């Protein structure tokens, strides 16, 4: 793989050395929702050539994991 001559390596280096980090003052509102099955299949299978059966099985695992309790100590 050839890296393009105009690739912004200095910006990439800066992102690794000085990543954007959320502080405790910022409130992150994360919420779990059921996966968008059609969107995942369209993106992974149709656009990126993933195996349809494997993607479907992974989606089922995600849905099953959502119904289980969180990990203990």
Total-model pTM = 0.53
**Per-position b or e across 20-57, b if 16+ CB within 10 A of its CB:** eeeeeeeeeeeeeeeeeeeebbeebbeeeeeeeeebee
Query: In the chain, what are the domain boundaries?
Result: 35-66
Site of tokens 């203990």? 72
For residue 24, CA distances in Å to 21, 27, 28, 36 come to 10, 7, 9, 30
- Please write the tens of the pLDDT for every residue from 14-66: 999 999 887 776 677 778 788 899 999 999 999 999 999 999 999 999 888 87
């Amino acid at each position: 793989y050839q890296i393009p001559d105009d690739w912004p390596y200095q910006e990439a280096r800066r992102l690794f050395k000085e990543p954007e980090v959320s502080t405790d003052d910022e409130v992150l509102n994360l919420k779990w929702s059921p996966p968008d099955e059609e969107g995942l299949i369209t993106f992974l299978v149709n656009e990126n050539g993933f195996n349809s059966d494997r993607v479907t099985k992974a989606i089922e695992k995600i849905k099953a994991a959502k119904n289980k309790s969180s990990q203990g100590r």
